[in-house]
Structure 1
Amino acid sequence: MARIDINRSGEMEVFVRVVECGGFSAAARALRMTPSAVSKLIARLESRLGARLVNRSTRAFQLTAEGRNFYERAMSILIAMEEAERSAGAGDEPVGRIRLNTSASYATHILSPILPEFLGRYPRVSIDIVQTDMVVDLLAERTDVAVRAGPMKSSSLIARKLGDTAMVVVAAPSYLARFGVPRTIEDLDGHSRLGFGYVRAVEGWPLRKGAETVIVPTLGRVQASDGEGLRYLAIGGSGLVRLSAFTVREDIAAGRLVPVLEDLNPGDREAFYAIHTGQAGPLPSRVRVLLDFLAEQGRVD
């Protein structure tokens, strides 16, 4: 039987911390070790594996292809070890902390109303919610689940669809009173069209023009990094905005926002997904129950 090396998990933890911190010195500070000790440990790990994991230089820290592969596998193993320890102490009951990355719009309009029920079902599960519309690296950010809108690119991520939502162009009554109600694509030339401050799958608003669908670019003096920011800008009278219907449904009912250009709406819908990494092995129970709950209660349609 091969000798069991009880230090292997420790080596993995140090290597993972080096990657997450972006270098030996930063990892040493986080681990309360000396940089030389961290460097020697990584060198010993590389020697045992027979592969270079990190390209070292005085100016940059860069993972090799072997290093990236080992990092992902090490993360999978460490997560499985953590889950095994939790399961041993808690039976089949989900327990532990979930890091959830989601847009502010989904967190505000879908997640917040249903979260008390989830916490009531699973009293030993805690959730850290990180709100951003930007796409993040789940492994690098130590994220368990992310809720994202738009088409899914083929990758190692596994997605569970949470439905799809209609899109609508809206504006505040005060804005329309000042600048008029646009009825054609040409009318938009005189309007502030609020947009996102980052690259999206479709840059602009799809609108019908005869039998075709054209993309009208956003052109406003203000941009925002998330849908909730754009929603509040629209309510305040800063311009027109095109958002998911579920985020403005209550505003329309209350008269804070008014739909416009509905005759030009092409009827496209935006899909939402709960995604997680496709790492080997079973999902941690805490992650599985959250995915099941979102598929049940957290749909956008």
Structure 2
Amino acid sequence: MEVFVRVVEAGGFSAAARDAGMTPSAVSRLVARLEARLGARLVNRSTRRLQLTAEGAAFHERAIRVLADLEEAERAAGAGVRPAGPVRINTSASYAIHVLGPLLPELMAAWPGITFDIVQTDRVVDLLAERADIAIRGGPMKSSALVARRLGETPQMIVASPAYLARHGMPEKPADLARHVRLGFGYARALEGWPLVGEAGLLPAGQRVRSSDGHGLQQLALAGVGLARLSLFTLRWDLAAGRLVPVLEAYNPGDREPFHAVHLGQGGPLPARIRVVLDYLAEHGRVG
């Protein structure tokens, strides 16, 4: 019944299949089984456009009411049940340290039945293969079967330690970076290089020293190894303490990196344990 309603609302079998994460043939088979059980044709398949029969139109109206009543009954039955169970979160070390970690005590107190398994990596992962319920990532979202909740966006900044700048000098213009160690990421990113005002294209990040994640780059910058371009939300503590200082801010183009919490299950209901964590992150786990 739910698949049939989705076919009507989407305007066709293929569109309904995309929304439900199914194949068009599977959707067609389900509708055919429904028609066989009812003993009535619900949809005319002779034209490109979806055309309901009179029986199909009447059944669609009743199906909507039945599904709404069922959803309300389930919501009422589960109103007194607290979400519980494991939630596996795959996230970057930077987000885990600067955002998720400080939020965990309050989140654990709000939902004492939920346990957390946090995997830290900047590598883009297959949620199904990694058994991850939620992945938190920076960068633009690519078209996929994943559902995304936006967690804000954060400015980028080039930084270095005072000790490094004491040895190598403060760059005054982009051309000066040619003689400096520029720390880079050791994996493919949506933006490969450093955009700077007045530069044609992107200034390549360094190849001499690279790291597999942003937190690693930050630690290298703190150790005086070189310059790093990182998200501002990860830098605030070190900037405030003077452990890192901005470099070439006059040439900062002001680009911002979006962050999303993504999960599987497009078009379907989420388990309560995952839904409440996503809702909490969408409200309290934003970057900026």
Q: TM-score, normalised by structure 2?
A: 0.71
1:186 paired with 2:175, answer yes
Summarize deviations over 1:179-222 as a string: whole Å, max 9, x none. 1111211100000000100111111111111xx66300012521
Q: Is the 8 A contact 2:147 2:266 kept in 1?
A: no
Q: Which residue of 2 aligns with 1:157?
A: 146
Matched-pair contact (CA < 8 Å) for 1:102–1:131: yes
**Partners of 1:294 and 1:160 in 2: how far apart?**
9
1:269 to 235, 239, 256: 256
- Tell whether the 8 Å contact from 1:208 to 1:214 is kept in structure 2 after alignment: no
Runs (5+) with no aligned partner, structure 1? 1-87
Residue matched to 2:216? 229
Code of the residue aligned with 1:241 in structure 2: it is A
The answer to whether the Cα contact below 8 Å between 2:214 and 2:230 also exists between their aligned partners in 1 is: yes
Other-structure match for 1:64: none
- Could you tell me which of 227, 232, 235 is aligned with 1:245? 232
The SS at the match of 2:239 is helix
SS at match of 2:268: coil
Which residue number in structure 1 is paired with residue 84 of structure 2? 95
Q: Which amino acid aligns with 2:133?
A: D
**CA distance 1:191–1:220, shift in 2 (3 Å):** farther
Which 4+ runs in 1 deviate beyond 4 A?
88-91
- Report the equivalent of 2:205: 218
Are the counterparts in 2 of residues 213 and 266 from structure 1 also a CA contact under 8 Å?
no
Which residue of 1 is the match for residue 161 of structure 2?
A: 172
With normalisation by structure 1, the TM-score equals: 0.68
d(CA) in 1 for partners of 2:125, 2:98: 21
Q: Aligned partners of 1:160, 1:279: CA distance in 2, in Å?
A: 12
Aligned counterpart, 2:275: 288
Pick aligned residue for 2:135 from 143, 146, 150? 146
Structure showing greater radius of gyration is 2
Give the match for residue 109 of structure 2.
120
Partner SS for 1:275: strand
Distance in 2 between residues matched to 1:248 and 1:202, nearest whole Å:
20
Per the TM alignment, residue 89 of structure 1 is displaced from its structure 2 partner at its CA by: 10
- How far apart, CA to CA, are the structure 2 residues paired with 1:244 and 1:281? 33
SS in 1 for 2:197: strand
Match of 2:26 in 1: none
* Secondary structure at 1:93 match in 2: coil
1:200 is the counterpart of 2:189:
yes
